Each structure stands twice: as structure tokens, then as C-alpha cells.
Amino acid sequence: MTIALYGRCSTRDQSTRHQIDSLRAYASAKGVEAIEFIDEGQSGVKDSRPALNELLRAARRGEIDTVVCTKLDRLARSTRHLCALSEEFEALGVALVILDQAIDTKTPTGKLLFGVLAAIAEFERDLIVDRVRSGMAAARKSGKRIGRPPALDASARDRARHMRDEGASLRAIGKALNVSHATVRSCLAAEANV
């Protein structure tokens, strides 16, 4: 029996260390060979991730018979993607084990729990997105700027506008202001739309 251990974290600031420790302990307790597939800095919303793609290729080649991860949301954040993965694993004869939620899709109870928790994982993701959107809207309403600061401050924009009025090319303006011509174009276009 060869199992695939899958871990994922969304940002480079986070670590999969705790997940990997739990997964390795599971494999050790079972006394089975394990192959690790780790996606660092990869969102669970994305269907395509380097390590997940490699895990799927290994499953399709018949190299693994069980996929183990700590939580469903490490595998995917949408019910659609979780169900698609589960269906593919089932068609390939690959079991899915979720440690922290005691799911083993080889059992009827595990299959039921998988479906319920997949819906909850998607619901949780939708709540996060809604909170972020609400927070950004409140920040905008209170006058806070959202996003990156402008590439050119007010005086640089004035200088760019003046140079453009005098016939300077976007490249020449960019070189003078130490930014790309695309940045100059964007700033001038944004001012024209205001």
C-alpha cells in the first residue's frame, strides 16, 4: 500500500509543518510507504496546483491507493472541486482519508461526512470572501485608499503631464521619472478619466 500525503497552505508566510507532522505520523502508524505532495503558497480555490496536479498524475498511473490530508479545505475550497476530486479518486480506486475530520471514503459514513463537510468548507470560504468585501467597502466609504499606492505621486504626475504637453514620448517621460512607459500611460489615462 502506497499513500499520498497532501498538504497545502495559502501564502508563503504560512507553514505546512503541522500538517506534514500529522500526515507523517499517520503513515508511520500504518506502517506504509508514503509520497508527499506539498503546495506552499497555493490557494485552495485554485483547481490547478503544482503538487495536487502531480498527485493526480500519480493516482492515474496507479502509483497510490490512498490520499491523506489533514482537513478538507487543504484539498479544495469549493464543493464542486472536492466532489470532482472524490469522484476521480473513487473511479481510480483511490481512497480519501481526512485526518482531523475522521473521514474515510471507503465507508458509507465517510462518504456522507465528506459531502457535508465539503459544503461547509465552501460556505466558510464564501463567508471569508464576504467579510473581505464588506471590510474593503467600509474602508473605501471612510475614505481609505485600497490597493497599492500610486506609482507616481502628485508632483511626478504633474511633471509627466507637463512633459507630455510639450511633446515628450511616454518612454522619455518614464526614463525621466524612473518608471516604465506603461506606468506613465496608466497614470495619464487615469487622470484623463477623472
25-50 residue pLDDT tens: 999 999 998 999 999 888 888 889 99
* 116-171 pLDDT tens trace: 777 777 787 788 889 989 988 888 889 887 877 777 888 888 898 899 889 999 89
Distances (CA, A) of 35 to 64, 82, 147, 159: 8, 21, 40, 58
The β-bridge relationship of strands 66-69 and 95-98 is: parallel
Helix, strand, coil shares of the chain, percent, nearest 5, are: 55, 10, 30
pTM here is 0.59
Instruction: Output phi, psi for 103, to 5 deg.
Output: -105, 130
List 10, 78, 180, 186, catalytic entry: 10
In terms of Cα–Cα distance, which of 48, 26, 24, 44 is closest to 36? 24
Q: What is the reported pLDDT for 113? A: 74
Confidence of residue 24 (pLDDT cuts 50, 70, 90): very high
The fraction of the chain above a pLDDT of 90, given in percent, is 31
Asked if 142 is an active-site residue, the reply is no
Task: Convert 81-104 to b/e letters by CB count within 10 Å (16 or more is b).
Answer: bbeebbeebeeeebbbbbbebebb
* 75-118 pLDDT tens trace: 887 778 887 888 899 899 998 888 887 777 677 777 777 777 77
